[in-house]
Structure 1
Amino acid sequence: MPAPAIPAGFDFTDPSLWETRNPTTEFAELRRTAPVWWNAQTDEQSGGFRDGGYWVVSRHEDIKEISRKPEIFSSQRKGSIIRLPGEITADQIELTSALLVNMDPPKHTKIRRIISKGFSPRAVEGLRAALADRAAAIVRGARESGGGDFVEQVACELPLQAIAELLGVPQEDRRKVFDWSNQMLNYDDPEYGDAVTTTSAANASMEILGYAWNLAEQRRADKLDDIVSQLVHADVDGESLASDEFGFFVILLAVAGNETTRNAITHGMKAFVDNPEQWELYKAERPRTAPDEIVRWATPVTAFQRTAVEDTVLGGQEIKAGQRVGLFYSSANFDEDAFEDPFRFDITRDPNPHLGFGGTGVHYCVGANLARLEIDLMFNAIADAMPDLTQVAEPERLRSGWINGIKHWRVRYA
């Protein structure tokens, strides 16, 4: 294969890059010439790792292979987040292993088995009626305002209310979760944090942990018919979450249940505005394939990482033990070998083997069905109540090295 035409010093996790655009041209170049490519980094560029760089894995097939082999590609060694605040230490990275996304089997298997109780098809379907009512109310409120910031008025609200509904958190506390998750994850954006220090992210994490700890202790003392009680009380197999484990589960929800779903909704609505024929089709037919195409198109998490625990070979490239590999879902979801006409937004796409829920394997998103439900309910509500939504200004993108986020988007609802 010819050498890729990637400029010297280019970094696929550079927050300033993602603040302006998706590097679709560069990803296509890698898929064609170097599907497993070493992205060298200075200590300053590496965002906390200071290990020389990482491998960019750009093809759908290779990312699926990595996802199926946790015994070779570890989530725990250096965590799953490919860019962290600049001053973070190795000991602080090690502490993040309490998060499910940063665990390896067998511990991951045990914790996931407990958490999955809250996301069974029956449990998710049990939320449908309440969330449908909330989606309709959110859209009615936005429509009455005439126009505004779609992210804050529409996209963020249902994921936040779903978390509150799932955990029995008072609805008035949902804004705390919104603010905490922004500070915890969006440290590269000066609107929310400081990429050089870990202070804002660490403080937000401690706030969520403390809040969740208290909630778990309340349910441990006074069991109710809700998911929190199920998770903190041992079942017939003797498995339950300790209060600190429950706290890290709530942090995971703040990430996977809030940030990612709200960004999928925003990117999805933007795609409909840019592809009005698809919006007309959606309003007429409401295809059940739409949520997965929205997630593929949005790819809210641009990349997670794994660390090789032994020397191995991937895509013909030798990878040394201890080296990081970046699973760039934002490239894989537009891989020409996996999707027909991948740059066409097609809400009837079927099959749709996207990796927007983290690929295959043990780390496939435990809340994928809840995310699909929220997206389906929200777009049905928008199509019913404000079908003529229009854009006032281009979206303001998040400055982040691993989240494909939109911070603000001015629209008119009627």
Structure 2
Amino acid sequence: MIELYDPSVYERGVPYRDLAWLREHSPVHWHRDPQTPGFWAVTRHADVVHVSRHPELFSSYEGLAMSGEYPEPDKELQRLLMLNQDPPEHSKRRSLVNKGFTPRMIGKLEQHIREVCDDLIDRCSGEGDFVTQVAAPLPLQVICELLGAPVEDRDLLFDLSNRLIGWDDPEFQTTYEDGQAAGTELMAYGNALAADRVEDPRDDLITRMITPDADGAVLSPDDVGMFTILLAVAGNETTRNAASLGMKAFFDHPEQWRRLVANPSLLDTAVEEIVRWATPVMQFRRTAMTDTTIGGQPVSRGDKIVVYYSAANRDPSVFARPDVFDIGRDPNPHLGFGGGGPHFCLGAHLARMELRVLFETIARRLPDIAPAGEVRRLRSNFINGIKEMRVSFGPPSS
């Protein structure tokens, strides 16, 4: 039996074989769900794009974007997240936040990202854990820079984000309620930063978000708090796991690592292939707002729809040799940042830059990096995550 819901399945790895079978034989497939009547699992690239680009048909707000069922008070709180909003409310919130994520604003961070990467590599020698020593600190330090938060708060943000998305993993010794508490703490953290910037404006994302735009629109402290929660997942967990899974892909395909080390001009296409291959966010859910069809399959109003980016990113009708990791792949219309439409990843420019600078630095300074143990994966049906990956760094070059 094909099982896509049980998070324990993903501890062994993404079930690509099952996703491929569905994509070929039942691309819009009715799947059981222990909490609800079930959902439609959408696995073809074209169908994922269709659902993503039609929020008027497939709502994030109605049943929330995350799989699972939640108490009504929790649903109302989660609907304050842009992740769980539809246009026009989503569009208004996004326009206020977007001014901190333009290519020009992200470009200003490049030198800081280079300094962070070099500092992280300076600390690497012998054997260690790639996740906690390299992949996790990079986005956390960048988030601190964006928010104007003290860099020493990165450990706090690391802990809160793990609790928020890892409550289904027994190793984190947490619960759904503790995950909710972590979200509340992150919201309070963002609220406090916003309140401080009202009194002491700075050149950071928080100040830009609470500064009225040309029409006088502004984010409230609660809006900033909710965005801090979103940033902790979208800006931290995704980049962390793309970096870890990208490094693992190079370990599994050493000829591609040698290719990158010898030819750094491949960095841009390598980053796109890393995101396609890793697909850190494996799926999102929508709710059908009317009777409609997806890929010819009728769906009814109120039905839950789960789009599987992991399957879409290996669709052979779109990607030649989709199960081959090829850092020169071009074109590469992956859906690792979403399927287009209003929820396309706000931080795509930032994630690309972080990954490009990180792998450029590793290839230059740690060309002999190698695996040194088993990889331990996150128990989650949402985030494709690695908890630990032991590596042999070797002495970093200057």
TM-score normalised to structure 1 length: 0.93
**For structure 2, which runs of at least 5 residues remain unmatched after alignment?**
none
Contact 1:119 1:367 in 2 (8 A): yes
Contact 2:53 2:340 in 1 (8 A): yes
1:159 is the counterpart of 2:139? yes
Deviation at 1:193, TM superposition (A): 4.5
Query: Equivalent residue for 1:31?
Result: 23
1:127-160 alpha-carbon deviations (Å, 9 max, x no partner)? 00011011111011123xx111110001001100
Select the residue among 351, 375, 378 that pairs with 2:331.
Answer: 351
Query: Equivalent residue for 1:67?
Result: 52
1:224 is the counterpart of 2:189? no
Contact 1:336 1:342 in 2 (8 A): yes
Query: Equivalent residue for 2:43?
Result: 58
Query: Equivalent residue for 2:270?
Result: 290
1:118 is the counterpart of 2:91? no
Contact 2:168 2:176 in 1 (8 A): no
Q: Equivalents in 2 of 1:329, 1:66: separation in Å? A: 12
Deviation at 1:342, TM superposition (A): 0.5
Write the mapping of 1:5-404 to structure 2, written as runs, cut at 5 A: 7=1, 10-42=2-34, 50-83=35-68, 88-143=70-125, 146-194=126-174, 197-286=175-264, 287=266, 288-404=268-384
Q: Equivalents in 1 of 2:376, 2:150: separation in Å? A: 30
Contact 2:52 2:343 in 1 (8 A): yes
Letter of the 1:285 counterpart: N
**For structure 1, which runs of at least 5 residues remain unmatched after alignment?**
1-6, 43-49
Contact 1:78 1:94 in 2 (8 A): no
SS at match of 2:117: helix
Letter of the 1:62 counterpart: D
Contact 2:96 2:213 in 1 (8 A): no
> What RMSD in Å do the two structures reach over aligned CA positions?
1.1
Query: Where do 4+ consecutive residues of structure 1 move more than 3 Å?
Result: none
Letter of the 1:188 counterpart: D
Contact 1:309 1:321 in 2 (8 A): yes
1:183-216 alpha-carbon deviations (Å, 9 max, x no partner)? 011111012254xx42211110111111110100
Letter of the 1:224 counterpart: R
Contact 1:188 1:401 in 2 (8 A): no
Deviation at 1:364, TM superposition (A): 0.3
Range that drifts further, 286-295 or 363-372:
286-295
Q: Equivalents in 2 of 1:187, 1:128: separation in Å? A: 33
Contact 2:376 2:388 in 1 (8 A): yes
Letter of the 2:301 counterpart: A
Contact 2:282 2:309 in 1 (8 A): yes
Deviation at 1:93, TM superposition (A): 2.3
Distance 1:329-1:193 versus aligned 2 partners, 3 A rule? farther
Contact 1:19 1:399 in 2 (8 A): yes
Deviation at 1:179, TM superposition (A): 0.4
Contact 1:301 1:356 in 2 (8 A): yes
Distance 1:91-1:323 versus aligned 2 partners, 3 A rule? farther
Q: Equivalents in 2 of 1:228, 1:98: separation in Å? A: 17
Letter of the 1:205 counterpart: G
Contact 1:193 1:200 in 2 (8 A): no
Q: Equivalents in 1 of 2:293, 2:41: separation in Å? A: 14
1:332-356 alpha-carbon deviations (Å, 9 max, x no partner)? 0000011000111111111110000
Q: Equivalents in 1 of 2:260, 2:240: separation in Å? A: 19
Percent of residue pairs identical: 46
Contact 1:13 1:402 in 2 (8 A): no
SS at match of 1:78: coil
Query: Equivalent residue for 1:3?
Result: none
SS at match of 1:369: helix
Deviation at 1:235, TM superposition (A): 2.5
Range that drifts further, 259-268 or 392-401:
392-401
Contact 2:290 2:300 in 1 (8 A): yes
Q: Equivalents in 2 of 1:317, 1:162: separation in Å? A: 43
SS at match of 1:27: helix
Deviation at 1:290, TM superposition (A): 1.1
TM-score normalised to structure 2 length: 0.96
Deviation at 1:83, TM superposition (A): 3.8
Letter of the 2:381 counterpart: G
